[in-house]
Amino acid sequence: MCGIIGFAGKEMQVAPILLDGLERMEYRGYDSAGIAVRSGERRLQVKKAKGRLQVLLDLTHGGADLEGTLGIGHTRWATHGEPNDANAHPHISENGSIALVHNGIIENYLDIKEHLVKLGVHFTSDTDSEVVAQLLEYHYNECRNMLEAVGRVLRRIEGSYAFGIICSDYPNALIAARKDSPLILGRGENGNFIASDVTAIIKHTRDVIYMDDGEIAVVTAESVDVFDDELIPVHKKHHKVDWDVSAAEKGGYAHFMFKEILEQPEAIQKTVSPRIRNGRVVLDDIKLTAEYAGEISHIYMVACGSAYHAGVVGKYVWERLLRRPVEVVLASEFRYSQPLVDEHTLVITISQSGETLDTMAALREAKRLGGRTLAICNVVGSSIAREADDVLYTWAGPEIAVATSKGYSTQLAALDLVGLYLADLLGTIEPAEYNAILAELQALPEKMRRYLADYESTQYFASRYFNHSSVFFIGRNLDYAMGLEGSLKLKEISYIHSEAYASGELKHGTISLIEPGTLVVALGTYGPLFDKAMSNVVEVKARGAEVLAVTTEAFREKMEKTADAVISVPETHPVLQPSLGIVPLQLFAYYVALQRGCDIDKPRNLAKSVTVE
């Protein structure tokens, strides 16, 4: 949600580097974009424009119009003020000496703005971020030391932020600061970086430093220095990113989402294989003891969006394996619901990005109440990963498309692993069941590849049904949980209204919406309840619905007798079936969106990594 970048270069022109970085981070926001470059003679040159990055690229001739080796850039997902040129970042202080980019929300900006207006400051935008640029100029005029001025500003503002700042008096340095919004520092051969995300700078360096809340960094072409909120130097650890630029590029595919759907078998393999040794799940990364596991009385799974949907699958699986109550709660609700957490409560937070603000806040609330936290997370060094008591990484690699696919499926795999691990510790699973699930978990990538080798029918059905204006996904138990994600995929990238219902609930109200021609996606992959799923198909057919069914190869024939169209996936252990069943739903959504001419990787109004509340 908003991407920021900054570069202090030795000799290289900064503008093309900033623009390239912004292009790689455009999934974080794409309402407007802008860059500021310090050119010779203490001048700050700013170019910004409403719309996609391409507008800015055209405006600056790919950056050729701005000369200089020090600069900052921003791609915006609007919170305060409509997406227009004036509200685009960077924001410039009134005398033109300071430029600032910001990701986050300044909660007390109106009070500060009022104060500055009384002092005669003129504002040119509606944003909370411009207030910080103006406040910075005010404090800089007082102390004439940029680091000190930033320190003073940070003490006055409330909210979340990652800032990149340049000042006309400082020809070689940019300043960065963070609290509750992601920010990394990168050390490259030709200069040093700040960025919201590794993807923006991976082309130039894999040597990164993760900034912590309250820290301020001064970055020049030769040095990277970090200070705490008292401006005392802090020694920071360097990390080597273990993937390279090709992982964050489309590699010949039309869309990142398509590429990422196809990458799922490998992502699951990477997540699962290293954690299975001699027929057992071994989680070296987790410090949970058998003694603690025995004392767990309650488990929460807390997350947002698709990660929440992974939690809904997790709940069905874990309750079966652990015989403990598992509650799945939306992170945005959890934090304000006075959750019943104590030292016997295990709180699982699930987040691909590791930066989702609500999930982060829920994690902190759980810790504050004395619960034990375990994060399932894809981004190494992200805030959630660093703050949880334990973290289990999903090794999906960078996910660029706004709509998650491999992020979600590796979350399912991680939940299966931890579920088996805990069930084993607790002795709540029969050895035969444990072995059967484990064997099938290892076989998942191969079975997924089998479906992915022949998915033309899914593409065909998408072209048959893409004109429907409303779709219902129905299923029971794990099929219902999977349907929640299938429905979200369709609505977010194709803009078709869709809802997921537990099939048994239909006749309690929603069935009144079924009329001749209504498209129902009926999910019948969960073996134990297949016959009941069939009855629901018959029910909606009787009301004239057009039924596209997703089932397993074993049930295909039966399903074909009633449904209008059938997609089948290989069979696996029932608790793992959503990992296979979700793939055709992702591809169906993808091809429907393609037919409708939607911007698949960057759906309207959305952004990846939601770092505001």
Which range touches ligand F6R (CB under 6 A), out of 58-66, 350-358, 441-449, 585-593? Answer: 350-358
Phi, psi of 334, deg, nearest 5: -55, -45
Residue-by-residue DSSP string for 229-249: TTS-EE----EE-SS-GGGGS
Q: Does 352 engage in binding with ligand F6R (CB under 6 A)?
A: yes
Considering beta carbons, is residue 75 or 382 the nearer one to ligand F6R? 382
Among 269, 345, 351, 503, binds ligand F6R (CB under 6 A): 351
Q: Which range in 26-34, 77-85, 132-140, 305-313 contacts ligand F6R by CB under 6 A?
A: 305-313
Contacts to ligand F6R from residues 490-519, by CB under 6 A: 492
The least distance separating ligand F6R from the CB of residue 471, rounded to whole angstroms, comes to: 16
Stretch that binds ligand F6R, among 215-223, 301-309, 440-448, 454-462 (CB under 6 A): 301-309
71 lies in the binding site for ligand F6R (CB under 6 A): no
Peptide bond into 90 cis (omega under 30): yes
Closest-approach residue to ligand F6R (CB): 305
Distances from the Cα of 423 to the Cα of 129, 285, 293, 294, 503, angstroms? 49, 17, 9, 10, 29
Q: In the complex with ligand F6R, which residue's Cβ is closer, 305 or 314?
A: 305
Question: Is residue 551 within the footprint of ligand F6R (CB under 6 A)?
Answer: no
d(C-alpha 448, C-alpha 452), whole Å? 6
DSSP structure class, residue 266:
H
Residues 6 or more apart in contact with residue 449 via CB below 8 angstroms: 265
Q: Is 586 in the site for ligand F6R (CB under 6 A)?
A: no
What does the block give as tokens for 411? 């979350």
- List the interface residues with ligand F6R, window 466-495 (CB under 6 A): 488, 492
Stretch that binds ligand F6R, among 250-258, 316-324, 345-353, 429-437 (CB under 6 A): 345-353
Sheet holding 233-234, edge to edge: 91-92, 98-106, 159-167, 174-179, 216-219, 224-227, 233-234
- Phi–psi pair at 339, nearest 5 degrees: -60, 150
**Interface with ligand F6R, residue 349, by CB under 6 A:** no
- Name the one range near ligand F6R by CB under 6 A: 147-155, 230-238, 336-344, 346-354: 346-354
- Among 447, 404, 411, 409, smallest CA distance to 589 is for 404
- In the list 136, 559, 593, 610, the residue contacting ligand F6R (rule: CB under 6 A) is 610
**Could you say whether residue 181 binds ligand F6R (CB under 6 A)?**
no
Edge-to-edge order in the sheet of strand 184-188? 43-50, 32-39, 70-76, 3-9, 191-195, 184-188, 207-210, 239-240
Q: How many residues bind ligand F6R (CB under 6 A)?
A: 15
Dmax (CA) for the chain in angstroms is 79
Token representation of residue 587: 């591809």
Q: Does 307 bind ligand F6R (CB under 6 A)?
A: yes
Q: Does 356 bind ligand F6R (CB under 6 A)?
A: yes
Q: Which member of 125, 181, 353, 494 binds ligand F6R (CB under 6 A)?
A: 353
Terminal alpha carbon distance of the chain: 11
Q: Which of 63, 305, 445, 527 binds ligand F6R (CB under 6 A)?
A: 305
The Cβ of residue 348 has, within 10 Å, a number of other Cβ atoms equal to: 29
Told to judge if 2 belongs to the known catalytic residues of this protein, a careful annotator would answer yes
- Give the helix/strand (H/E) hosting 49: strand 43-50
The binding track of 391-420 with respect to ligand F6R, each residue x by CB under 6 A or -, is ------------xx----------------
Catalytic positions, written as ranges: 2, 608
Interface residues toward ligand F6R, by CB under 6 A: 304-307, 351-353, 356, 359, 403-404, 488, 492, 609-610
